Structure 1
Amino acid sequence: MAEYKLKGVSSLGLKPGDKQEVEVEGLDAKVLLLNASGKVQAVGPRCTHYGAPLVKGILGTNGKLTCPWHGACFNAQTGDIENAPALNALPVFKATERDGAVYITGDAETIKAGNRKPTFKCATAGTAQTDKVVVVGGGSGALGVIEGLREGGFTGPITLISNEGYLPIDRPKLSKALMTDLGKLQWRDDEWYKTGSVEVVKDEVTGVNFADKSIATKSGGTFAYTKLVLSTGGTPKTLPLQGFRVLGNIFTLRNVHDAKKIVDAIGEQKGKKIVVIGSSFIGMEIAACTSANNDVTVVGMEKAPFERILGEEVGNIIKKGIEAKGVKFYMSAGVERAEPSGSDPANVGFVHLKDGTKLDADIVILAVGVAPATEYLKDNSVLRLESDGSLKTDESFAVVGLKDVYALGDIATYPYHGPGGEGKYVRIEHWNVAQNAGRTAARHIVNPTLKPEFFTPVFWSAVGAQMRYCGNTMANGWDDVVMQGKPDEGKWVAYYTKGETVVAMASMGMDPVMAQCAQLMQLHRMPGKKELQDGLDVLSLGPPQ
């Protein structure tokens, strides 16, 4: 440990909620100097998720520091993770004022790194811990619960069972960039899981015996548990129409294997005619990321992309940006069938729409939604699935009616207590919701007396430009949209309201607004519809408190 002087800082006179990114003398590094709940210190300057500058984030007077890009939240006093999608915590450095200068104390390598891995190393041999946790599914929720357990001091055995053939990945990169390199996609490597004494089983779960607390797998394995976490994600839907189930070069996208098939079909030469069926987030992201050097067409049933979630006005704003990349759209369209070309009867050649339009297609990508991946539970006599195939949980993501069982992510329907939610049960298919649900379940397993804390759902989308969203429009719907900013310049905010209550927001080119709203929604202190209609800038409210 050594002491380092901060350039251009003469005092620790920051007010609660204030922050300043500064250089460290003698090191090629910066830190974020901030006042967290009355305590001035320095932390790593960038979000540990994708490296967003935290100086542009939001620091509440409660000490919560929220990333401006993807909603990751840190405890600015301890550096610990409060909310996904960050995995590594922030390092914290003591700051002192002396002789008209400010110094921080820390290790040079840690200051340069700007992050610290959470407490994960664990040796379960000989432990007095009696619980054994089995996690089914290798997605975001699984990662959240496993790391949350070890961070929370759980020392019992943990087994992860996943049928994907690899460790948990950064799944959003599949649709946003068609990335297939596991070295860049996997959040942690094999050695990381070994240090935490996590047994990784690459197999498929075929059934659960809740009475005996055991799991059966496709290869014939049996795994006992005392606590079970189900996080099997979603299964992409297909079209039950002529040609779609028999022709080649028709793909869905859920895992790395799917992405590799699509990349291989496009090939290095590109120049392919790609038809994307579906105009919500997966479809629009795929259209945007494949548009370079390909002829891409999107077919959507809605009047505008994202109409159900974001509304027609916002959907058309985003559509215009993607059209600028050369992507063509057929909206309010119905698909009739797929057929092969004359030269290649095994693969798709055309997509026919119900209005008679015939689209050339070398490749078809189906992005028509997902269903909860709970097929292995459908014949279970002690479990009742919801009508959509999901599992009903409480606020801690414990399955209602089952002891010691939790459900996360796409398969969980849980009570929503955000603005306008009123405890209505919702199923939210967001990456950060699954990971936060995992962290919530982990805290409940470690200490069942802890009351779960509401987290604001956040998602982001690479649709021509980066879109940010927080809140939820699905609990009780929305009846109006308040627009601010300049859509023609790519800088706008849309506030979705139900009566006077703002239930969600979406934005482009104004990232700190999302971070501010995420904190305000968590605190239930979002301004009302009329204030926003009158032009209120939520950033003018200062640090949330």
Structure 2
Amino acid sequence: MSQEYKLKGLTSVSLQPGEMQEVEVEGVEGGKVLLVNSAGSTQALGTKCTHYGAPMVKGVLTKSGRLTCPWHGACFSAKTGDVEDAPALDALPVFKVSERDGAVYITGDEATIKSGKSKPSFRCRVASRSKPQEHKVVVVGGGSGALGVVEGLRENGYDGALAVISSEGYLPVDRPKLSKALTTDPDKIAWRDEGWYESAAVDMIADEVTGVDFAGRVVHTKAGQDVSYTRLVLATGGTPRRLPLEGFKDLENIFTLRTVHDTREIVEAIGDKGKKIVVVGSSFIGMEVAKATSSGNTVSVVGMEKVAMERVLGEQVGTVLQKGIEALGVKFYMSASVSKAEPSASDPSKVGAVLLKDGTRLEADLVILGVGVAPATAYLRDNKAMTLEKDGSVAVDEKFAVRGLENVYAVGDIATYPYHGPGGGGRPTRIEHWNVAQNAGRTVSRAITHPAEPHTPFIPVFWSALSAQVRYCGNGSVGWDDVVVQGDTGAGKFVAYYCSGETVVAMVSMGRDPAMVKSSALMLEGKMPSKTELAGGLDVLTVGLN
């Protein structure tokens, strides 16, 4: 039940637009709220990001009212608490603020003040699923992009029929935890439980899509179902690449990592530990898996780059991150190429070693491949109504609508979209990040529910838990020719800015929150400082927004 609570130590509120303050709530044990001044209006919000609990007071608030988490880029409206950017799903609660008799009060209920979350309450006018629907959105895929579509549609008032077809065999999960922690129980990392999808009237269909009749607006499945739609969202993600080399096609205990099923197989193969593990690939998946399996095992990483993650982050930053993983006992074989996988002497059906082209032989009880993914679009390959890109992806516009098809969208790893971030210039780009997929799904939901509204762009964000938390924003794949580093890379507290000429196209930070989310906000508003300014020591945290 809502009631008034006094804010401790306040006689009035005097925040300027864009300012915020965390305050204790009297009468609520451990209760706190965040006072914010958004566009001249003051209200109180929950204090912790609803994604992973980051302290919002350390985040970034624009004068116009965008409040961004300091860790992973989740963005909320400071006016309504609603989610504006992934990865948060639940809104921040908003509490009315009032002043009288030399004190400041908020109005709310104790449970919400303590939890700091405001889960959506859906009241959908969806008829029985057995009856024809006037409008029906069908989402193909059960990952982050699909979740963004579902959440966004219901939040934005869509109350028509909604179905998700997924072959993974479980509800949408927090996929980054698979490589970071080798989680094997999907229930522990599911974003929503079955009751939530039921309350949102989402029909979850466990099946595999085998084809689409775009003219007839019907999706065909492996189990023989024909699912009709009025709007279709393709969100099938990526298929892990395998090595087309001797031994890698037929030997057991060679794994890729994409699903909970994959992590279960890997954990089972590791067993009681003490295993020799070879990780092929030195980008983020490979590095995260190396860290996750390092305790109690002998782990080797094979990479084609000079140092780990050099292609994305450059040699200087890549060296720092590689040293952090080496400190865990992981050994790196860099500037190396794999020749073949050899069978085990004790069990010829299983892998026993990985042979490198320079003759190095790495004994292996199991091998984990982290060599990238391909767009999972095999079910579209022979469809005459659609022409796939050379890499197998689907070309879309700024609202992720598929070019040449009506009421069809594509998001996530399968989507090549015009990138308008720094250095992008609308260049067709495919970005394989969990956060990008969910934001793309939210963009589609707005396109469906508010088609007349202009496109709202977002800046790509991703993070990784290596020797320390690494946070990245922007898109270095547009090309960069120089790196400006501020801070001490040796101490693990630095920011690196990737520059094309004077334009900062991407940045990475470690131990310098909230530099990443501030840079993301500046990039979005076109106010990111120049290379020369940053090289001169300018701190992005001192740059104003709006």
* TM score, norm. by length of structure 1: 0.98
Q: Deviations over 1:187-226 (max 9, x none)?
A: 1111111111111110000000111111110011101111
Distance in 1, matches of 2:15 and 2:474, equals: 31
Q: Distance in 1 between matches of 2:370 and 2:122?
A: 37
Pick from 84, 87, 91 the counterpart of residue 85 of structure 1.
Answer: 87
Q: For the Cα contact (< 8 Å) 1:120–1:147, is it kept in 2?
A: no
1:118 Cα deviation from its structure 2 partner: 2.2
Q: Deviations over 1:312-371 (max 9, x none)?
A: 111111111111111110011000011122112111111100001010111100000000
TM-score, length of structure 2 as denominator length: 0.98
The residue aligned with 1:540 is 542
**1:454-533 residue pairs with structure 2 within 5 A?**
454-475=457-478, 477-533=479-535
SS, match of residue 339 in structure 2: strand
Look up the match of 2:363. Answer: 360
Secondary structure of 1:461 counterpart: strand
Aligned partner of 2:343 among 340, 344, 347: 340
Q: What fraction of aligned residue pairs are identical, expressed as a percent?
A: 65
Aligned to 1:5: 6
Separation in structure 2 between the aligned mates of residue 103 and residue 200 of structure 1, nearest angstrom: 43
Map 1:202-281; keep pairs closer than 5 Å: 202-267=206-271, 269-281=272-284
State the secondary structure of the residue aligned to 1:288: helix
**Deviates further, 103-112 or 386-395:** 103-112
1:262-311 Cα shifts (integer Å, max 9, x gaps): 111111x2111111000011000001111111111110011111111111
The structural deviation recorded for 1:541 is 1.7
| Correspondence 1:414-429 to 2 at 5 A | 414-429=417-432
Instruction: Select which of 368, 373, 379 maps to 2:382.
Output: 379
Where does 1:266-305 land on structure 2 (aligned, <5 Å)? 266-267=270-271, 269-305=272-308
SS of the residue corresponding to residue 497 of structure 1 reads strand
Structure 1 residue 119, shift from structure 2 partner: 4.1
Q: Give 1:114-125 correspondences, 5 Å limit.
A: 114-125=116-127
Task: Kindly indicate whether the alpha-carbon contact (under 8 Å) linking 2:317 and 2:489 is maintained by their aligned counterparts in 1.
Answer: no
Are the equivalent residues in 2 in contact too, given 1:96–1:103 (CA < 8 A)?
yes
Contact 2:310 2:318 in 1 (8 A): yes
1:194 partnered with 2:198: yes
SS state at 2:348 partner: strand
Unaligned runs of 5+ in 1: none
Residue deviations 1:147-181 (CA, integer Å, cap 9, x gap): 11111111111111000001111000000111112
- Residue type of the alignment partner of 1:523: E
1:153 aligns with 2:154: no
The answer as to whether partners of 1:119 and 1:150 remain within 8 angstroms in 2 is no
Distance in 2 of aligned mates of 1:369 and 1:8 = 54
Contact 2:127 2:133 survives alignment (8 Å): no
Task: Give the Å deviation of 1:448.
Answer: 1.4
- 1:140 is aligned to 144
Does residue 163 in structure 1 map to residue 164 in structure 2?
A: no
CA distance in 2: counterparts of 1:27 and 1:181, whole angstroms: 35
**How far did 1:83 drift?**
0.2
Tell me which residue corresponds to 1:174. 178
State the SS of the aligned residue for 1:180.
coil
Cα distance in 2 for residues equivalent to 1:130 and 1:525: 45
Provide the C-alpha distance between the structure 1 equivalents of 2:173 and 2:364, rounded to a whole number of angstroms: 30
1:128 Cα deviation from its structure 2 partner? 11
Root mean square deviation, CA, Å: 1.3
Question: How far, CA to CA, are the matches of 2:469 and 2:265 in structure 1?
Answer: 26
Task: Tell me the equivalent position of 1:450.
Answer: 453
Q: Is contact 1:231-1:407 (8 Å) kept?
A: yes
Partner of 1:97 in structure 2? 99
Q: Distance in 2 between matches of 1:521 and 1:362?
A: 46
Query: In the TM superposition, what is the alpha-carbon distance from 1:246 to its structure 2 partner?
Result: 1.1
CA distance in 1, matches of 2:9, 2:274: 53
- What does residue 413 of structure 1 align with? 416
Query: What is the Cα deviation at residue 47 of structure 1?
Result: 0.4
Q: Distance in 2 between matches of 1:305 and 1:113?
A: 40
* Matched residue SS, 2:514: helix
Q: Residue deviations 1:48-102, cap 9 Å, x none?
A: 0010111110011111001111000000110000100000000001112223322
In 2, Cα distance between the equivalents of 1:128 and 1:204? 22
In structure 2, what residue type is equivalent to 1:13?
S
CA positional deviation for 1:507: 0.6
Regions of 4+ moved over 4 Å: 126-129
Given that residues 478 and 496 in structure 1 are in contact (C-alpha distance below 8 angstroms), is that contact kept between their aligned partners in structure 2?
yes
Contact 1:252 1:366 in 2 (8 A): yes
Query: C-alpha separation between the residues in 1 aligned to 2:404 and 2:315?
Result: 40
Q: Matches of 1:340 and 1:128 in 2, distance apart? A: 56
Q: Which amino acid in the other structure matches residue 509 of structure 1?
A: G
Residue identity opposite 1:401 in structure 2:
G
Cα deviation 1:402-454 (Å, max 9, x = unaligned):
11100000000000111111110100011111101011001111121111111
Q: Which moved more, 1:41-50 or 1:119-128?
A: 119-128
SS for the counterpart of 1:494 is strand
Q: Is 2:333 the counterpart of 1:330?
A: yes
1:45 matched to which residue of 2? 47
| Pairing 1:436–2:402 present | no
For residues 354 and 23 of structure 1, the distance between their equivalents in structure 2, rounded to whole angstroms, comes to 62
Please state whether the residue corresponding to 2:50 is helix, strand or coil: coil
Letter in 2 for 1:115: K
Distance across 2 between alignment mates of 1:454 and 1:296: 41
Q: Which range moved further: 10-19 or 502-511? A: 10-19
Cα 1:525/1:99, change in 2 over 3 Å:
same
User: Residues 129 and 155 of structure 1 are in contact (CA less than 8 Å); yes or no, is this contact kept in structure 2?
Assistant: no
What SS does the aligned partner of 1:484 have?
A: strand
Q: The residue matched to 2:145 in structure 1 has which SS?
A: helix
Matching residue's letter, 1:6: L
Structure 1 contact 123–197 (Cα < 8 Å) conserved: no
- Asked if the contact 1:123–1:196 (Cα under 8 Å) also holds between the matched residues in 2, the reply is no
User: What is the CA distance between 1:121 and its match in structure 2?
Assistant: 3.8
Contact 1:134/1:229 (8 A) holds in 2: yes
Letter aligned with residue 4 of structure 1: Y
Contact 1:517–1:526, Cα closer than 8 Å, also in 2:
yes
Q: For 1:201, what is the secondary structure of its paired residue?
A: strand
